[in-house]
Structures are given as C-alpha cells and as structure tokens.
Amino acid sequence: MTDDSIIQTIMDNAVNAGAIFGQLDQEQTDRIVKAVYTAGFNNRIKLAQMAVDETKMGRFEDKVIKNVLATQLVYDDIKNVKTVGIISDDEVSGITEIAQPLGPIFAITPVTNPTSTVIFKILIALKTRNPIIIRPHSNAVNCSVEAAKICYEAALSEDAPENCIQWIPSCTREETQKMMAHKDMALILATGGGGLVNAAYSSGTPALGVGAGNVPVFIEKSADVKYAVSQIMSSKLFDNGTVCASEQAIIVEKDIAQSVKDELVNLGGYFMNPEETAKVSAVVFDSAKKVMSTVTMGKSAKFIAELAGITIPKEAVLLIAPLDGVGEKYPISYEILAPVIAFYVAENYQAAVNLCIDLNYHGGAGHTASIFSNDEKKIREFSMVMNAGRIVVNMPSSQGAVGAIVNTLAASLTLGCGSGGKNITTDNVTAKHLLNIQRIARKRVNQKFDKIDKSLYLNEAYNSEMIEKEYNKNY
C-alpha cells in the first residue's frame, strides 16, 4: 500500500462485495462457508509448515491442530446457526428477529497463530455475509496470505462475490490506522499486540479485540496432582506456549507443594535456582518495554536456556521459576508466551487465591483463569473472585479457553476479555458477534404495564403535591 487511492479501492471493492453478499440466502451462504472450511482443512498441514518456517515459532504438529480448530471445529460450531433473514419469530411476544450483515470487516491477525486465525476470521465473516480484509502480521505475511488465497478461491468456486476476501501483504502503521478509521469500515476484528488493539479501539470504528492473558493456574489440595500436572504440561507446551490462554503461573498450597514439584520434574519440568531465573528473565522479558521478548516467544526450553547461558537436563522441556512475589521485580510473573512458567507456594487456600488475584490483575484481567480441584464449593468461590471471562476447571487452559476441544465453549481464536481487558465482551468471539439484528415489534398487551397505577401520569388533576405525597408514602 502506498497512497490513499489504494485504500479507497480496497474499500470500494469491499462495499461492492457486501452489496452482492447481502442478497444471498442462507443456503447459498452455507455452501460458500462449507467450501472454505473444506479447502482450509485440506491444506491444514501445508499451512502449518509454512507458518513454522516463516515465523520460526511454535511446533509444526500443534500448528496443524490449530488449523483443525480453525476449520473443522469452527465450522461444526457455526454450520447450523441461522445468519440470514428471519432467525426467530415469537408469536407470543410479537417480536421477529432478522439477521443482517455488518459490512466490511478489517481483520488484524497475529504472528503466534497466523494461518489458523486468518481462516477462523474468514469463516465467521462469510457465514454472516460480511466482506473481510486481512491485515497479517509483518512476520507472517506469506503464510497468512496463502491461507487467505486458499479460502478466497474456495469461496469463488461457490459463486461468492468477487473481493469478498481481500488481503494487504504490506501495510504501515499509518496505513493500518487509515483503514481502521475509514468511513465504510463496519468493524475491526483485532487479534495481536496491545498497541494494535488499542489503536483499533481508538479508531472510531466499532472493534472486537482481545487482551493479554496472564493466566494463573491454582492446584487446590483436593486435586488429583498427577492429572493436574499432566494437563498443565500439555497446555503450556502446546505450540511452545504461544496460545494467549496458556498457563503463566502455577500456584499450589503448601500441603501438596512437594508432590506437585516431583510430578513436574517427572514430566520434564526444570526448577531453576535464583541465578538461573535471573538469567532467563533477562532474555524472555524486555525490561525497557515491560513486555515479553519477541526473540524467545514460541521457542523451546532448550533454545531459551542456551540463549540465557544456563545448562538444563536434556529431557527438560519446561523452565520453572520459583517466585515469592508479583510485579516488576519478578519479570516471569508477566505473560511469557514460551515454555517458561512461574511457581508459587502458598501457606493455605486463601493465600493461594490472593496470589491468583494478584497475577490476574498483573496484566491479565478479564482473560482466563484455571483451577484444578475436586471441591465444588472452592471452585465456585475461586471463580467468583477472579476477573476472567473464562474459568477453566480441571482441564488444560490453552485447549480449554479456545473452546470445542475439551469443553463446549464456542470454538474461537479471538477471546474477549470484557471490561477488565478493555474489551466489549467476555465471549469467545464467533459468528453471532458479526450480525446486526433487526427486531420487528408488533402490538401486544403488556401485563406489567397494565398493573401500573396510570393515575400517576394520566390524571390531569394529579398535581405535584399529590405526587410528592405518593412518593413519601412509598419511600
């Protein structure tokens, strides 16, 4: 992109595509969506390899699983949802709801989940008849554009409107801001770094964004320790920790601390001493910017250890930092999207919960919290005090938060964080969030209205003095 005329051409194309898209019925729309899902699924391995080769992040096998989530599981989640025309008709209430598309959507996609997020956003946009413009991360352009091309060709094969999917291979920050603020842009779907998400919310265009995920996992003393540790390991190591819902700190009660430590070591965890923790902190955290380092994001424990200049056992796959505090003095208490995790021992249940709250508010408010427990009362107590859109119970947090794999949450790669994360929703964002809903309201008798003493406002003789007496009598 080089000038405003190119931006205008992209937007004109999107508007024209939207005008045609709005004329399609549910059956035509669903054929397009199925074709795109099928093409994305059939290319899941190719796109996973491209993503790893280009970004140098994560693990190929796990990128494949992410592409399966973005295609098969997302498709299964949305395929039977009504998104065209009348979606509900209630004779009793007299309310008829009609689904309408929003218009052009600007999709900002991340380096951590490039191809999967592109496919996911395209599927939910097409399901709701919204043209979409993909703005890939600068370090994941080739794989993201290839994913968009595969989806576009599949959509066209089922007579989707031309330019219903567009992509911008090169886009400066200034050009991105102009796209976001364009008068014809209907919505921004922002998944990525905090700067871009904040810019989306400041653009003047409605936006659905995400927040940081500094996820605490509390292993309460009634939990099955072996099971809990195995689930945490499978989650934190998934794609080398690049899922924003991956666990960032393990909190245990003193009574079970040693058994948890033993099991972590048994499964490849390496507990660092203070000197090693300091060295690793220096390479995984950018102290000047107060954010995780992009150099180690999505890298293996071996890579990080070598970079930090520490020696770890050859079987070690997770670097564990025992900490006694939260905040700037403890860099690993921040979100680190890599196989590095903080470890806290609490005196008792309440102290453990307090630590989880501190971590939750230390850069992860609104996102996700995790608990392993067989005490339903404590699970509910924990959930009530956590500022998190998702509290995952007895399951891996990475796979649990994105939905559909180990629970029935909506399959999504855009996880809303509510007001805690400066987002508009705590939902797993999906097709239902990309619709305008019209409501036809027919005249019906409202029994609540009939019970109101209408003399309060219908009787002309009912003056201010009488109203004051009525108020004093009731209140």
Dihedral sign, Cα of residue 116, residue 403, residue 105, residue 365:
negative
What is the mean pLDDT of the segment spanning 204-228?
A: 96
**Sheet bearing 435-441, strands edge to edge:** 85-90, 95-101, 435-441
Residue, of 171 and 390, whose pLDDT is higher: 390
User: Does the fold of domain 215-402 match that of domain 4-209+429-437?
Assistant: no
Check residue 71 and report its DSSP letter: I
**How many angstroms separate the most distant Cα atoms in the chain?**
90
Query: Are the C-beta atoms of 167 and 83 separated by less than 8 Å?
Result: no
Identify the pLDDT of residue 45.
Answer: 98
What pLDDT digit, counting tens, does each position of 12-62 carry? 999 999 999 999 999 999 999 999 999 999 999 999 999 999 999 999 999
Catalytic residue among 164, 244, 356, 417: 244
215-402 maps to CATH 3.40.309.10: yes
User: Taking Cα atoms as reference points, which of 448, 406, 447, 411 lies closest to residue 429?
Assistant: 411
What is the mean pLDDT of the segment spanning 433-458?
A: 80
Of 135-149, 196-210, 216-230, 310-324, minimum mean pLDDT range: 196-210
Confidence label for 426 from pLDDT (cuts 50, 70 and 90)? very high
Confidence label for 139 from pLDDT (cuts 50, 70 and 90)? very high
How much is the mean pLDDT over the chain?
A: 94
Active site residue 356: no
Question: Pairing between strand 291-292 and 285-286?
Answer: antiparallel
C-alpha pair distances (Å), 98 with each of 26, 73, 217, 342: 12, 26, 42, 49
How far the first Cα of the chain sits from its last, in Å, is 65
Q: What is the CA radius of gyration of the chain?
A: 25
Identify the pLDDT of residue 445.
Answer: 81
Instruction: Choose which CATH entry (3.40.605.10, 3.30.420.140, 3.40.50.1220, 3.40.50.1820) describes domain 4-209+429-437.
Output: 3.40.605.10
Domain regions of the chain by residue span: 4-209+429-437, 215-402
Identify the pLDDT of residue 248.
Answer: 98
Q: Which residues lie across from 291 on neighbouring strands? A: 286
Residue, of 232 and 422, whose pLDDT is higher: 232
Identify the pLDDT of residue 464.
Answer: 65
pLDDT at 1 over 90: no
DSSP-assigned states of every residue in 223-248:
S-HHHHHHHHHHHHTGGGGTSTTSEE
Identify the pLDDT of residue 354.
Answer: 98
Q: Which residues lie across from 247 on neighbouring strands? A: 215
Identify the pLDDT of residue 461.
Answer: 53
What percent of the chain has a predicted confidence (pLDDT) above 70?
95
CA angle at 139 for the pair 134 and 144, rounded to the nearest 5°: 35
